[in-house]
Amino acid sequence: MTDPKSLPCAVADGHETPPQNAPPCFHLLAKPSGSTCNIDCQYCFFLSKDALYPNGQHRMSETTLETYISQLLESHRTPHVTVAWQGGEPTLMRVGFFRKAVELVEKYRKPGQVVKHTFQTNGLLIDDEWGSFFREHDFLVGLSVDGPRELHDTYRVDRHGHGTFDRVMRGWEMLQRHDVEFNILCTVNAANEHHGRAVYRFFRDELGASWMQFIPIVERATDQTIDLANLGWKQQPGRKRVLYTQTGNRVTHRSVGPRQYGQFLVDIFEEWIRHDVGRVYVQLFDVTLEAYFGRHLLCIHAPTCGLGPALEHNGDLYSCDHFVEPGYRLGNIHETHMRELMASPAQLEFGLNKRASLTAQCRSCEVRALCNGGCPKDRFALSRDGDPGQNYLCAGLELFFTHSRPAMQTMAALLNSGHPPADVIAHTLAEDKRRGPYAPCPCGSGQKFRFCHGNGASSSRFAGGTVRHQHA
């Protein structure tokens, strides 16, 4: 899948004069049903965004849809454009809305523009009609799954508190039946943080996924909101939900631990580097390898950001999906062309501030060129020097980027000499043999290699047997 924030930014010949500072491409996330969702994941901050639009149903009108599609295609000076649908839950809009979107893309597409639709869903409403529509128009569908049943159902629940795993798997079966290109979006949270390998194996072996991304759950709260936040941002009796904003330096008990996030990634990396390089794509691993060549494909680990705006159902454009809050509203596309909003000083400053606000610890960090301080939304901890603005996940980021460095350097060298990076598997296995099965596992678990990432590793209690395989 094209990641929500990744940019295939090869600039094509321009046909018009863009406003000064207008980016040649960007990756907009459109929310046609606003924050409305048909389930109630406990960690979902986005449900609270209905507080921004207290009146009326949150549904994108056909007028806004047409304005959006035409402006998006006009704004791009690249041959490739991604039309990314997200939520809330976009399937609440019904198939007809997206048929119209496809028609409008054909109407406004510039000669030579190649348009890809992506669609992020919880999968519950995916049926034959959706499946055949996605296949017909070559949609790339991201399915949100947090791992095998027990892990997934911890937080991904419906309004009655019931787990959604079985219903998500029915959606997955529909995607399989219609041969829809899909990938997995998995959050890393307090429930699955110790089960990286089992989660990864489940996606690879049970769901047949060859592309996956792992998103850390970091729910910020203040001293005033932490109790409510721990309850799941639920509406208080007789009151509206509290609007989630990126404030406070406390986190909910559902949030992933900093070090645990890194260990989760390392756990998966050690499996991937022995078995799957070249056939399974893990977003952060790809992005990290690209960073060794000076290319930053993911905003979170790029030096600057600001190319991933979010569009609300009524045409309001925000700086980023993670900053849909009043202080980051750039304007409305019915009043100002999105190209101008993207070139506005406010958005420029938003993007540049990512670099300008790095702490001294980040600036002197050995893996800064790979990490770049992570996402500003997570920068609410204290640095080692006691400075505010350090990334809450720093310990885990440092662990992952440091741990993966030797193998990444090997892959980079392989690429430089014209060899496939998958040849790193042979290097890794040779190193395993040299070290022997009873040496400590390189993942840092403290277990002997043989009983951890070695071939004799036992399956986790979570892996396997939880879903029926069904191929189209």
User: Which residues are the active-site residues?
Assistant: 321
Cβ nearer to ligand SF4, comparing 218 with 452: 218
x/- mask, ligand SF4, residues 393-412, rule CB under 6 A, reads -x--xx--------------
- C-alpha 89/C-alpha 121 separation (Å) is 6
Report the amino acid identity of residue 439: A
Stretch that binds ligand SF4, among 113-121, 152-160, 190-198, 371-379 (CB under 6 A): 371-379
Range list of β-strands (E), 168-210: 181-188
CB of 85 to ligand SF4, least distance (A): 18
218 binds ligand SF4 (CB under 6 A): no
- C-alpha 120/C-alpha 278 separation (Å) is 24
Contacts of 102 (CB under 8 A, 6+ apart): 117, 137
Cβ nearer to ligand SF4, comparing 174 with 298: 298
Burial class (CB in 10 A: 0-12, 13-18, 19+), 158: middle
466 binds ligand SF4 (CB under 6 A): no
344 binds ligand SF4 (CB under 6 A): no
23 binds ligand SF4 (CB under 6 A): no
377 binds ligand SF4 (CB under 6 A): yes
Give the SS3 label for residue 58. Answer: coil
Q: Which member of 220, 322, 337, 339 binds ligand SF4 (CB under 6 A)?
A: 322
Contacts of 166 (CB under 8 A, 6+ apart): 149
362 binds ligand SF4 (CB under 6 A): yes
Q: How many CB atoms lie within 10 A of CB 459?
A: 12
If we measure between CA atoms, which residue out of 43, 126, 117, 49 comes closest to residue 92?
126
Task: Report DSSP letters for 89-145, one per residue.
Answer: -GGGGHHHHHHHHHHHHHHHPPTT-EEEEEEEE-STT--HHHHHHHHHTT-EEEEE-
Q: Supply 423's token pair.
A: 């040849």
CB of 184 to ligand SF4, least distance (A): 19
Stretch 255-314 residues interacting with ligand SF4 (CB under 6 A): 299-300, 305, 308
CB of 391 to ligand SF4, least distance (A): 4
Stretch that binds ligand SF4, among 124-132, 138-146, 262-270, 364-372 (CB under 6 A): 364-372
Give the SS3 label for residue 316. Answer: strand
CA 95, 97, 103, 106 dihedral sign is negative
Report the amino acid identity of residue 300: I
Cβ nearer to ligand SF4, comparing 151 with 299: 299
Q: What are residue 181's DSSP bridge partners?
A: 140
Cβ atoms of residues 48 and 228 within 8 Å: no
Cβ atoms of residues 133 and 173 within 8 Å: no
CB of 218 to ligand SF4, least distance (A): 11
CB of 421 to ligand SF4, least distance (A): 23
CA 16, 17, 23, 29 dihedral sign is negative
175 binds ligand SF4 (CB under 6 A): no
34 binds ligand SF4 (CB under 6 A): no
Cβ nearer to ligand SF4, comparing 444 with 464: 444
Q: Are strands 316-318 and 329-332 parallel, antiparallel or unpaired?
A: antiparallel
CB of 286 to ligand SF4, least distance (A): 16
375 binds ligand SF4 (CB under 6 A): yes
391 binds ligand SF4 (CB under 6 A): yes
What is the distance in angstroms between the CA of the first residue and the CA of the last residue of the chain?
20
355 binds ligand SF4 (CB under 6 A): no
Q: Which member of 1, 2, 3, 5 binds ligand SF4 (CB under 6 A)?
A: 5
Interaction site with ligand SF4 (CB under 6 A): 5, 299-300, 305, 308, 320, 322, 354, 361-362, 365, 367-368, 371, 373-377, 391, 394, 397-398
